[in-house]
């Protein structure tokens, strides 16, 4: 049968159309209706921490996101696993972090996702200036803060506070005099656990409270060994050593067990960050009635920051990138942030929050947080993990009485010198590479 010219033309056009449609389908990206998804690595798996984290997760899932939780018992283990995965190319979507130094190093290695300009501008406007200072590298935001803790607090039961309580809490000398009077009656003035973190936090608060901010910063940020020969530093060491005589570690030495010891009247006070409020609340205790706070002696004009933030793993799947964006939307929501931080016992990092609902401890901390120059950078931001571990080791040796102060000062001086030379060498190497 002979096909007409018209029929032939129609047949040819249909064939071309079918072929074109096939090519379009073959090479077009598949349109996915995937929901925002995150794999979140963190170490908030107990008590008030866990309850607070659930607020973020619940809101994330309420908004249609899928949340895979990877919680560890130890921050070091979590971070080691996260870094290993980043290097191998299958990074977690989000990782909890509180070391600005390490975040900088990882960002420089190209192992984190970057923010687009619109999101970056929004976050710049969302966070308090002192918080922004801690999460930026070369003008770029590299981590998403969810809370601001302050580490320089003493926690106690109001009924146990003596008539001269304000004086006792005002400086370490008065506190030691009170501790001595307690010891005469067989009571313990200070609960201090066996972990290096607790011993180092106390050391830093004594150093700040006795020696002052300038000396504190000369030692940790300038690595100035000359600061170790000052009267202020010697007084701080003597105070720290004396406190050991009036302290005790309860239970297995964990921080929450020291809080429980104060709650049970086994110790008068505990030096702890404001995350203590979350744990006290978890024990069913009420601030102002069952427990109370005071700035660590001599530190009332400052707050020693501990910032928990999450870094964005270098993921490429669309649903994971959407998950990172949704996470940022959730944690920058004022209601979510305020609820989370109420349970966590911390401050919101956001500029615009309802401060009328803050408890008295948070009111004090929030005022200082918004004052430039009064917020002390987190200890985790002063150097890499090896340097921090060396500091913790030395402070623990001092606390446990393994070294006398003169010998210890020599070792601490050696550590600062070595770290300073390492940084100078690294800086010179980087400049040489650039040139």
Question: Tens digits of per-residue pLDDT, 169-222?
Answer: 899 999 999 999 999 999 999 999 999 999 999 999 999 999 999 999 999 999
User: Strand pairing partners for 144?
Assistant: 310
Q: Which regions of 107-160 does DSSP assign to beta strands (E)? A: 136-137, 140-141, 144-150, 153-156
Domain ranges of the chain: 37-150+305-379, 153-301
**Nearest of 95, 93, 39, 32 to residue 66 by alpha carbon:** 39
Q: Which CATH number fits domain 37-150+305-379: 1.10.3720.10, 3.40.50.1980, 3.40.190.10, 3.40.50.261?
A: 3.40.190.10
For the stretch 229-248, pLDDT in tens is 999 999 999 999 999 999 99
153-301 shares the fold of 37-150+305-379 = yes
Span 389-406, average pLDDT: 91
> 179 and 171 in contact (C-beta within 8 Å)?
no
- The per-residue pLDDT for 22 is 37
**DSSP designation for 371:** S
Query: In which region does residue 299 sit, left (phi positive, over 0), alpha (psi from -120 to 50) or beta (all else)?
Result: alpha
- Which residue is associated with the tokens 């984190």? 112
For the stretch 48-82, pLDDT in tens is 889 999 999 999 999 999 999 999 888 888 989 99
- The per-residue pLDDT for 33 is 61
For the stretch 77-98, pLDDT in tens is 898 999 999 999 999 999 998 7
- The per-residue pLDDT for 430 is 55
CATH architecture under which domain 153-301 falls: 3-Layer(aba) Sandwich (3.40)
Confidence of residue 371 (pLDDT cuts 50, 70, 90): confident
DSSP per-residue letters across 220-273? HTS--GGGGGSHHHHHHHHHHHHHHTTEE--TTS-HHHHHHHHHTTSSSEEE--
Confidence of residue 415 (pLDDT cuts 50, 70, 90): very high
Residue 369 pLDDT more than 60?
Answer: yes
């Amino acid at each position: 049968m002979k096909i007409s010219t018209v029929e032939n033309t129609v047949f040819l056009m249909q064939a071309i159309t079918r072929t074109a449609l096939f090519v379009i389908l073959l090479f077009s990206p598949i349109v996915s209706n995937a929901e925002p998804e995150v794999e979140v690595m963190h170490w908030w798996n107990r008590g008030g921490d866990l309850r607070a984290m659930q607020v973020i997760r619940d809101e994330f899932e309420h908004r249609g996101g899928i949340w895979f939780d990877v919680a560890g018992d130890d921050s070091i283990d979590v971070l080691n696993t996260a870094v290993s995965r980043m290097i191998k190319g299958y990074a977690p979507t989000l990782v909890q972090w509180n070391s600005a130094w390490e975040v900088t190093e990882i960002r420089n290695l190209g192992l984190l996702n970057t923010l687009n300009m619109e999101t970056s501008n929004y976050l710049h406007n969302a966070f308090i200036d002192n918080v922004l200072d801690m999460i930026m590298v070369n003008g770029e935001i590299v981590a998403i803060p969810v809370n601001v803790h302050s580490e320089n607090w003493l926690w106690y039961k109001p009924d146990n506070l003596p008539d001269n309580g304000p004086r006792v809490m005002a400086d370490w000398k008065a506190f030691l005099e009170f501790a001595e009077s307690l010891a005469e009656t067989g009571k313990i003035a200070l609960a201090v656990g066996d972990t290096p973190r607790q011993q180092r936090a106390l050391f830093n608060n004594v150093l700040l409270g006795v020696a002052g901010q300038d000396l504190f910063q000369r030692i940790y940020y300038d690595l100035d060994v000359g600061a170790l020969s000052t009267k202020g530093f010697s007084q701080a060491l003597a105070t720290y050593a004396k406190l050991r005589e009036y302290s005790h570690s309860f239970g297995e030495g964990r921080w929450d067990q020291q809080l429980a010891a104060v709650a049970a009247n086994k110790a008068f006070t505990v030096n702890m960050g404001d995350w203590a409020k979350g744990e006290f609340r978890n024990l069913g205790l009420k601030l102002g009635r069952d427990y109370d706070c005071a700035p660590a002696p001599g530190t009332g004009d400052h707050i020693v920051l501990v910032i928990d933030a999450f870094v964005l793993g270098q993921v490429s799947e669309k649903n994971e990138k959407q998950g990172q964006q949704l996470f940022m939307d959730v944690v920058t929501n004022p209601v979510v942030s305020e609820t989370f931080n109420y349970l966590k016992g911390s401050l919101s990092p956001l500029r615009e929050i309802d401060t009328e609902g803050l408890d008295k401890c948070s009111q004090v901390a929030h005022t200082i947080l918004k004052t430039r120059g009064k917020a002390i950078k987190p200890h985790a931001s002063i150097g890499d993990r090896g340097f921090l571990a060396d500091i913790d080791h030395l402070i623990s040796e001092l606390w446990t009485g393994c070294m006398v102060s003169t010998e210890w000062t020599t070792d601490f001086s050696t550590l600062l010198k070595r770290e300073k030379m390492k940084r100078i060498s690294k800086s010179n190497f980087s400049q040489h590479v650039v040139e």
